[in-house]
Amino acid sequence: MAIRPRYISQTTPMQPSTIEELQGHYREILRLLGEDPQREGLLKTPLRVAKAMQDLTRGYSTDPIAILNSAKFQEPYDQMVIVKDINFHSLCEHHMLPFYGKAHVAYIPNGYITGLSKIARVVDAFSHRLQVQERMTLQIKDCIQEALKPLGVMVVVEARHMCMQMRGVEQESSKTVTSAFCGAFDREKTRMEFLSLIGK
């Protein structure tokens, strides 16, 4: 069963009261770790981390469908459109450690195209949330399919996960690759053309 994109209704950044509450929690975490939150080097750390989390999760206040619709143009072009090597970073929802890499996105228009930068912004919106790579890959695909209704969409994401590099099995060179596709990309020939064009 396909995982539907989760569009969050929140449209504003974190309120100052939320930042303040987060500060208090991070201060307590430092204390529980055996540190002194009042020492010089850590005095402003809770605030810095709270603000960092605000930025790292800014995708919750972004509507990816609206991003695509903001630059949706009628165009008779019906060949593959590829935006590859889209850099991203995200936070694994299991350990809240970073994972980072590249996304490659292709779609075959069905009367409408979107601004190329909007594809990268959709990746940014979904990656700036607590994520798992598998779900993020599906969300990007489903979002483009819903907004543009193209003949097909395919997404490939490759990433390195700090939760595998810094802890647990500590496999520093491992890379995870996920893909999702629909429509015209159900045909192996079309998928192989896309993979060839992104150098895979």
Q: Which residues are catalytic?
A: 92-95, 133, 161, 163
DSSP letter at 49 equals H
Distances (CA, A) of 108 to 112, 115, 151, 181: 9, 14, 5, 12
- What size, in residues, is the chain? 200
The string over 170-179, giving b where at least 16 C-beta atoms fall within 10 Å of a residue's C-beta and e elsewhere, is eeeeeeeebb
Q: Which residues are within 8 A (CB) of 142 and not within 5 positions of it... i.e. 6 or more apart?
A: 2, 3, 4, 5
